Amino acid sequence: MSEVTDLVVIEKSNAMAVFTSKEQLDPLLEKIETEARSLVPDLTTKKGRDAIASMAHKVARSKTYIDNAGKDLVAELKALPKQIDESRRIVRERLDALKDEVRRPLTEWEAEQERIKAEEAMNALHAEALEMNEEFDRQRAAQIEADHEMALLMNDKFDRDREEQRRQAEQAQREHEERIKQEAAEQARRDAEAKHKAEIEAAARREAEEKARAELAERQRIEAEQRAVREKQEAEARAEREKAAAVEAERLKAKQAEDARLAEEKRIADEAAARAANIAHQKRINNEAKEDFVKGGIPEEFARKAVELLARRQVRNSSINY
């Protein structure tokens, strides 16, 4: 779609070429200059003066039209970075979500593997404790057997002492097994807590990073909007100044044209007054000369004719000084 002025037309599809190519812009300006300069100014008639003002107005409209076309093109180009940033944000959000969705089975599997490893480690500790218990039991059984053989040779007191030792040994064994179980359980708990804490911290970092990116994008959006508002306000103020300047220029031109018209009228009037004064002066001199001829005895009709001949310089060696 195109806009039309009295002097120039710029197709929207061709606006970029016009403002970026001297070969496109110069013919456009030359066309305006040629048409504007083709006007032959005539200040003697109102129609001629109106034609000059109309042509100047057309040139001013063409300037505003071309400048607005360039301003619209710049506004479109400035909108492109914002559109691109918005598309980048959509790509990041949707593909991050898709990445998490695609990886979720693997993430869950890895978490399950970590749980299995922790359980296997706990089971290994428990198996080790059982083996240690069995070895301890074998050693104690051998010791008890040996003690039993000796007990047969000892008195009742010795038997009671050995029984107490056996009981204490069994108590120590039970305490040892319980301690091993507790240590294994505590280690498994610490591992699970460490893993859970790491997952929470990683999630918090991701959330903080996403929040920081969102805040940065929002700041950039607000800055872009504020910058666009400032630029629009500046452009509008500049357009208003240019419009005011154009109006003032038109007013000044009209005033100058009116001053020129009044000066020309005054010159014509002054010349007419001067001619009238000169004619009156000559008529007075001629009348005085005629009266002098009549006083000298020449009839009035002959005196008038003589003055005419003198005024026309048709009498040799004689003239009238006005």
Q: Is the pLDDT of residue 319 over 50?
A: yes
What crossing angle do the helices spanning 22-37 and 46-151 adopt, rounded to 10°?
160
CA within 13 Å, CB half, 254 = 13
- Residue range 148-185, pLDDT digits in tens: 666 566 555 666 676 777 778 778 777 877 787 777 77
- Residue range 72-101, pLDDT digits in tens: 888 888 887 888 778 788 878 887 787 778
Measured CA to CA, the distance from residue 150 to residue 147 in angstroms comes to 5
pLDDT of residue 1: 32
- Residue range 206-256, pLDDT digits in tens: 888 888 888 888 888 888 888 888 888 888 888 888 888 888 888 888 888
Candidates 125, 165, 172, 160; CA nearest to 144 is: 165
Q: Is the pLDDT of residue 4 over 50?
A: no
Return the DSSP state at 12.
G
Specify whether the CB–CB gap between 291 and 307 falls below 8 A. Answer: no
What share of the chain in percent tops pLDDT 90?
Answer: 0
End-to-end Cα distance, the chain? 76
pLDDT of residue 150: 62
- Alpha-carbon distance values, 106 to 97, 109, 207 (Å): 15, 5, 21
Q: Is the pLDDT of residue 3 over 70?
A: no
pLDDT of residue 87: 76
Range 103-125 average pLDDT: 81
CA 115 to chain centre: 53
Least confident of 5-19, 46-60, 204-218: 5-19
